Chains A and B, each alone.
Chain A
Amino acid sequence: MPFTWLVALRFLREGRFQTLLILSGVGVGVGVIVFLSALISGLQTSLVDRTLGTQPHIVMRAPDDVVRPARQGPAVAARLEPPAQRLRSILAWQQALSTVRALPGVTAAAPIVGGAAFAVRGLANRSVALRGVDGPSYARIIDIEPRLVAGAFDVSGTRAVIGTELAKDLGIGVGDKLRIETPIGRSDVFLVSGVFDVGNKDLNLRWVFVSLRSAQTLLDLVGGVSTIEVKVARIFDAEAIAGEISGRTGLVAESWMRLNTQLLVGLRSQSASSWMIQLFVVVAVALGIASVLVVSVVQKSREIGILKAMGTSTRQVVRIFLIQGALVGLVGSVAGVAFGSGLALFFASLAKNPDGSATFPVELGPGLFLAAAAVATVTGLLSAVAPARRAARLDPAEVIRYG
């Protein structure tokens, strides 16, 4: 073992109470950092997950007030007097779809025909949001399958999938019939093939999934689609990719980030305050380490003087104290990681959702642990700089003279 490590370790070991104190200080500090990080990132992930569980990352639709000189393609019904809530189709949507699917960062895109409708069963009727989808490609945007409480996600032919609230309100279930009417006066009868619960009461009431073709007919949008919904690989790239999409296709593309600005502002300010707290914790830990080491330099000034008198160089003396700082940081952070993780897991176990998942989910992982250990070690090292320089400046003649 190098001489400097031997002396540093021995100073720490013999400093028993002081070392214990400083280690607990670092441990508590790192623990708070680990706990806070785990909690904040857990909460944020679950918030974002919950939000994006029922939202596409990007929604593309036709631009609003654009006068088109010539109408071609799928806009067959163009000559009809448009009703008030007339839906516009995306022009050349197949082309737009393949363009979007080819963009880097985009993992899936699916066409949707969406519009307002009424679900009617006997005398009861409910205003719903009709969503004509292509089953397989839609599943890659929002996967309803695992959230089905009954039946299957089957929209082929005249089958429909509805939410639990609508099923309850209308008193129907899988295998029952349901009439869908649209404001333009078209209607059709569907067979309920599945009932879902996406964890959102409003959507459980309003979403009615049917096939693309059925929705096109009901909403008078034959051959067209109203939106294309997109999923991206990294959710926080959504805004940038949306910009790219509208540049390439000329369509309006809105990311979830645009549609959930309040959520994002909330997440950002939550992160910012968590960073502030962590920064102050680091500063407090640094001051703690530095002050304990300064005291130890004063206490050990004779020893340092003797070490210098017997040929220990200034560089070696500096290193002895830097090593102590770094070691205190590292060892303290191991204790802190254990403490913080324990605290986080305990906290997470306190409150459970009915399905057994934690109300306060925490995210603990090797990345967080390594980061905490690195921050603590570097903090320890930096905190030791001032004490080390003090030790290096000690004049051996001075400390030896005054016993």
Chain B
Amino acid sequence: MAEPLLLLEGVTKSFGDGVVTHVLHGIDLAVGRGEFAALIGPSGSGKSTLLHILGLLDRPTAGRVLLEGRDTGPLDDDARTALRGRALGFVFQFHHLLPEFTALENVLLPMLARAGRERPGMRARARALLDAIGLSERASFRATDLSGGQQQRVAIARALANEPLLVLADEPTGNLDTETGANAFEMLRRFNRELGTAFLVVTHDMRIADRCDRVVELVDGRIRAERRGGVG
């Protein structure tokens, strides 16, 4: 692996002023281009916190976060937001879509936010993504009128809207039944294969972790184990 896409160096994270909670302790982690990695660990081990730092949503208390070799620490919030919009996609665990918008619009929104307004080709790209997740007939459905699995698939399409280098997914299959979860996971793998997008997926499901290129295990804010494995 040449220069990693995203690199964490000695990242620690603490919360609170008076009573300080130390959540992450000296994390060193590299995510390569086109990689498909799983992040596992018990509840409260700091997975979401780590993901937010990786995704430039949050700043580390100490340590550095480098995106494509560039230290993101000195960047102000707007520069980080712009970088996030261009290079990173998110799939969240709990709340996925904006309920005020249709499925198609939800996929369109990251493109609109980035360009400021609609440009030719955006709508077609959003449709193509909906096609790829098998929801083209649901394009004009309100987000709230979709099933949980469908919503999660739209959220995946949305994460891919701006052709990010890396998608960070926080338990994307967590509240789906096994089969729907497996389908959503398959979809991520397919995008990884076809688009070369790197994925870091937080999961509790070992069957899913086993099918990733690499598994990172976080315990009490430290990386306890890393293993390569699974099939492609």
| CB atoms of B93 and A314 under 8 A apart | no
Q: Interface digits, B76-102 against A, CB 8 Å rule (1 contact, 0 not)?
A: 011001101110011011110011110
A169 in contact (CB, < 8 A): no
5 additional contacts (CB under 8 A) given A310-B161, A311-B84? A10-B100, A309-B84, A310-B113, A311-B81, A403-B95
Which residue, A2, A312, A400, has most C-beta atoms of chain B within 10 A?
A: A400
Contact A309–B112 (Cβ < 8 Å) = no
**Cβ A302 vs Cβ B117 within 8 A:** no
A303 at interface, CB cutoff 8 A? yes
* Interface contact A11-B113, CB-CB below 8 Å: no
B113 touches A401 (CB 8 A): no
Q: Which residues of A contact B84 (CB under 8 A)?
A: 309-311
Set of chain A residues within 8 Å of B82, measured between Cβ atoms: 311, 313
A1-23 contact mask (Cβ, 8 Å, vs B): 1 or 0:
11100110011011000000000
- Whether A310 pairs with B110 at a CB distance below 8 angstroms is yes
B85 contacts A303, C-beta separation under 8 Å: no
Whether A400 contacts B109 in the complex (CB less than 8 A), given A14-B99, A14-B100, comes out as no
Distance, CA A316 to CA B116, complexed state (A): 9
A392: nearest residue on chain B (CB-CB)?
B77
Question: Is A121 an interface residue when CB atoms closer than 8 A count as contact?
Answer: no
| Minimum CB–CB distance for A270 against chain B, Å | 47
User: Which A residues are CB-close (under 8 A) to B48?
Assistant: 401
Q: Quick check: B117 and A310 within 8 Å, CB to CB?
A: no
**Are the CB atoms of A400 and B98 closer together than 8 Å?**
no
The answer to whether A50 has its CB under 8 Å from any CB of chain B is: no
B residues 43-60 near A (Cβ < 8 Å) are: 48, 52, 55, 57-58
Given A314-B78, A403-B94, A307-B117 contact (CB < 8 Å)? no
CA distance A253 to B211 in the complex (A): 102
CA gap between A397 and B92 in the complex, in Å = 11
Q: Is the CB of B85 within 8 A of A2?
A: no
> How far apart are the CA atoms of A195 and B147 in the complex, in Å?
88
Q: For chain A residues 370-403, which have a beta carbon within 8 Å of chain B?
A: 395-397, 400-401, 403
Given A312-B81, A397-B52, A400-B52: A2 and B117 interface contact (C-beta under 8 Å): yes
Q: Determine whether the beta carbon of B57 is less than 8 Å from that of A396.
A: yes
Do residues A308 and B112 form an inter-chain contact, with CB atoms below 8 A? no
Q: Residue of A at shortest CB range from B109? A: A310
Known A-B contacts A310-B110, A311-B162; A3 and B94 likewise in contact (beta carbons under 8 Å): no
Say yes or no for B114: interface residue by CB 8 A criterion: yes
Q: How far is the CA of A401 from the CA of B55 in the complex (A)?
A: 13
Contact-residue bracket for chain B:
20 to 34
Given contacts A303-B100, A316-B113, contact A310 B158 (CB under 8 A): yes
Evaluate contact between B57 and A313: CB separation under 8 angstroms.
no
Instruction: For chain A, give the interface size range.
Output: 20 to 34
Instruction: Give residues 161-176 of B contacting A (CB, 8 Å).
Output: 161-162
Q: Is A172 interfacial (CB 8 A cutoff)?
A: no
CB pair A2 B158 closer than 8 Å: no
Closest residue of A by beta carbon distance from B58: A397
Q: Is B116 touching A307 in the complex (CB atoms < 8 A)?
A: no
User: How far is B55's CA from A306's CA once the two chains are assembled, in angstroms?
Assistant: 12
Any B CB within 8 A of the CB of A315:
yes
Write out the residue numbers on chain A whose beta carbons fall within 8 Å of the beta carbon of B158: 310
Whether B95 lies near A3 (C-beta < 8 A) is no
Q: How far is the CA of A214 from the CA of B55 in the complex (A)?
A: 101
CA distance A181 to B76 in the complex (A): 96
With CB as the reference atom, state the residue of chain A lying closest to B57.
A397
Q: Are A400 and B81 in contact (CB under 8 A)?
A: no
CB-based nearest B residue for A399: B95
Q: Knowing A14-B99, A403-B93, say if A307 contacts B77 (CB, 8 Å).
A: no
Chain A residues, Cβ within 8 Å of B52? 397, 400-401
**Are the C-beta atoms of A314 and B99 separated by less than 8 Å?**
no
| Docked complex: A101-144 residues within 8 A CB-CB of B | none
Which residues on the B side are within 8 Å of A310 (C-beta)? Answer: 84-85, 89-90, 109-110, 113, 158, 161
**Residue-by-residue, is B132-146 near A (CB-CB < 8 Å gives 1, otherwise 0)?**
000000000000000
- How far is it, in angstroms, between the C-alpha of A397 and the C-alpha of B112 when the chains are bound? 22
**In the assembly, what is the distance between CA of A310 and CA of B161, in Å?**
10
